[in-house]
Structure 1
Amino acid sequence: MRHRLAELRGPDVPAKALDARALAALAANPGCRRRAILDGAGVDKAALAGALGAPSDYGQSQFALIRGNTFEARVKADGGAELLRLTRTLLDPAAEPPAGAAVPDLSAPGPEGRTARTALALREAVAAGGWTLLDHPMLALDVAGSPAFLEPDAVVVHPDGGWTVVEIKSFPMLDGSADPAKVGAAARQAAVYVLALEAVAARLTPPPAVRHEVLLVCPKDFSNLPTARAVDVRAQRAVTARQLDRLTRVETIAEELPEGTCFDPERPAGELTAAVDAVPAAYAPECLSSCELAFHCRERSRAADAVTRLGRPLRAELGGLGTVHEVLSAARGESGDPDDPVVAALRRAAALRAEALAAAADREAVPCP
């Protein structure tokens, strides 16, 4: 199977690793077979979008990356003393102070080696007791039959053996609160790490507790000083697990593709377009903020007259009417079953609109006194 995935991205093209942000976006749109196969094969979707003539500005700016790395280094300075203090204060105030916490070396060759080294370090930390900080551990999660290697900012092992995911973000907490949309995105990303940690814990006897409250660390107000809050990700974890389970397995999608399909951005534009269009997509406006191929898929969705480009909630309301033409035709009474509640609602809405327009026209026709 790995050989087949290598053929799909191009034999000389290195695989692009899936991260938690991409997994969270994939889980939010489990019906998109196009994203599932591209992510599963390790295709660089940003390069692919550029080759298709529809580049996307999705992703962090270079400035944001530098600012985030600088803040993270400050949070983890002195062996993560401030990070561990925040963890104890917010999540485990009854535990002993984290002085002299262990910070194991997690270096190893390749993602598989780092994953094994992380699992060993977690097992040793539980056996030793006390506080342990794992800086950028490597975790593995099975996604649609393909392994994804994930790298959280940090994982803290508590003296009681429990594990906590730490998310470090560069957006500020003003007066103790942060942008809800950004906190929600961070929670969905952390939920992916929780799922991956649970897979590691399940292999230990007895399995340690993976805490569902993660530590979100951000700059305080307009300073570069760290502050934190506990974020309960149980809801996000449950949704993400359910959506990932719904994903069609990558090998199933690959078997349905025409022979010779390849997503190498160096291929001719016509071949590349045909390869991408061979895999069904499930475009929605939400993709613009979460997928590099969103502009290409939006163009295709518009060309197909699909109602999904207007949003998933509206698509759900329209039942079996899949195109804008079908919706307008049903509203005008040209097609559709009048006993269908969706068709009846559309015709009622069209009648009300016609009445409103007629009333407005009558008011405009009345001369001013």
Structure 2
Amino acid sequence: MDKASLADALGSPAVFGQSQFALVRGNAFEARVKADGGAELLRLVHEKLDRGAEPPAGAHVPDLSATGPEGRAARTSLALREATGTPGTWTLLDHPMLALDVAGSPAFLEPDAVVVHPDGSWTVVEIKSFPMLDGSADPAKVGAAARQAAVYVLALERVAARLDPAPRVRHRVLLVCPKDFSNLPASSAVDVRKQRAVTERQLARLTRIEDIADALPEGVCFSPELPAEELATAVEAVPATYAPDCLSACELAFHCRARSREAGAVTSLGRPVRAELGGLSTVEEVLAAARGEAGDPDDPAVAALRRAAQLRAEALASAGTGTSGVAGCR
């Protein structure tokens, strides 16, 4: 389904994406990196990842255009097969299309580039617009780029497994960023083995889509054309646990946040808070436990809440009498 359209129909539109300025700047930088048949990009790949290979004097850049994502994914697989079967040459795939099974449904992925080395191995290239200052970039942004590249590596491994012999998919990807505050490219090799392993475990644990569908009421439909009330009922048939980090990952996050707040769910305060509260799942239960009206006194979470409530009451009482000169500061 188109979750963005679904969120609009529910009256909770998602706010995603970079600013127009950032998009234009990022596209201009990527075009510069890939100019002249990817000469600069291939030079960086050779310098950072494959110094033992023959320096790239040029590269084959196959046409990957096709109809629809399925057609582009098939064309990418064919181009990778052809490039791997031509040893001794460099091949640059510009915006290839890869398919990865996610819980029983194909997800189509588009890396910035994939390079086929002269030895037939494959490397993922990620081009980002955040700067690399004095040879290093923001660790949080590099980590996000590594997680993204790890998904591409997994998808490439699925393609490689269908070839005989299977080519090697390198687990060191090339991250290309602007150097300092210029538009000149700088690069770094990033090992994504850890991120790849984590992603593979997460994919293996996902509930398959057919299992989710089997648990839904008969005839449920998520068409944005449905009346808002009927659509909301259909969406609520799928269990969801909102947390603040959903805001950066899901188009339905604002809808789920509103429902979570209406229900008083403590997960709306964040997963760390939820983990500290044990079996207390709603704000009302937490307040009742803190007041001594509910909860097992031997429960560490309940005991901590009651102690916190006692300290708060003592602090307010002290402030109310002007002790320590804080009464006028409230």
**TM-score, with length taken from structure 2:** 0.92
Match for residue 26 of structure 2 among 68, 76, 88: 68
Match for residue 81 of structure 1 among 32, 36, 39: 39
Identify which range, 152-161 or 106-115, moves more after superposition: 106-115
- The amino acid across from 1:268 in the alignment is P
What secondary structure, in the 3-state scheme, does the structure 1 residue paired with 2:298 have? coil
Match for residue 201 of structure 1 among 160, 167, 171: 160
Q: Deviations over 1:119-165 (max 9, x none)?
A: 22222222212321111111111000011111111101112222111
Q: How many aligned residue pairs are there?
A: 326
* Alignment of 1:128 onto 2:48: no
Quote the sequence identity (%). 79
What secondary structure, in the 3-state scheme, does the structure 2 residue paired with 1:338 have? coil
Match for residue 314 of structure 2 among 347, 352, 355: 355
Match for residue 271 of structure 1 among 226, 230, 233: 230
Q: Deviations over 1:256-313 (max 9, x none)?
A: 2223322222222112211212211121011112222211111110001000011111
- The amino acid across from 1:120 in the alignment is L
Match for residue 105 of structure 1 among 39, 63, 66: 63
Identify which range, 70-79 or 59-68, moves more after superposition: 59-68
Identify the structure with bigger relative contact order (alpha carbons < 8 Å, sequence gap 6+). Answer: 1
Match of 1:58? Answer: 16
1:328-367 paired onto structure 2 within 5 Å: 328-364=287-323
**How much has 1:182 moved relative to structure 2?**
2.2
Match of 1:9? Answer: none
What secondary structure, in the 3-state scheme, does the structure 1 residue paired with 2:129 have? coil
What secondary structure, in the 3-state scheme, does the structure 2 residue paired with 1:128 have? coil
**How much has 1:367 moved relative to structure 2?**
12
C-alpha separation between the residues in 1 aligned to 2:83 and 2:198?
Answer: 30
Match of 1:48? Answer: 6
Q: 1:66 to 1:264 in 2, by over 3 A?
A: farther
Contact 2:319 2:326 in 1 (8 A): no
C-alpha separation between the residues in 1 aligned to 2:48 and 2:157?
Answer: 22
Match for residue 238 of structure 1 among 178, 189, 197: 197
C-alpha separation between the residues in 2 aligned to 1:149 and 1:132?
Answer: 22
Contact 2:171 2:191 in 1 (8 A): yes
Q: Deviations over 1:220-239 (max 9, x none)?
A: 22222221112222222122
Give the gaps of 5 or more residues in structure 1: 1-42
Q: Deviations over 1:195-245 (max 9, x none)?
A: 101111222233222112111112222222221112222222122211122
1:128-277 paired onto structure 2 within 5 Å: 128-129=86-87, 130-277=89-236
- The amino acid across from 1:85 in the alignment is R
Q: 1:364 to 1:276 in 2, by over 3 A?
A: same
**TM-score, with length taken from structure 1:** 0.83
Identify which range, 246-255 or 297-306, moves more after superposition: 246-255
C-alpha separation between the residues in 2 aligned to 1:51 and 1:340?
Answer: 43
Identify which range, 196-205 or 137-146, moves more after superposition: 196-205
Contact 1:58 1:291 in 2 (8 A): no
C-alpha separation between the residues in 1 aligned to 2:324 and 2:190?
Answer: 60
Q: 1:366 to 1:122 in 2, by over 3 A?
A: closer
What secondary structure, in the 3-state scheme, does the structure 2 residue paired with 1:113 have? helix
What secondary structure, in the 3-state scheme, does the structure 1 residue paired with 2:85 have? helix
Contact 1:141 1:196 in 2 (8 A): yes
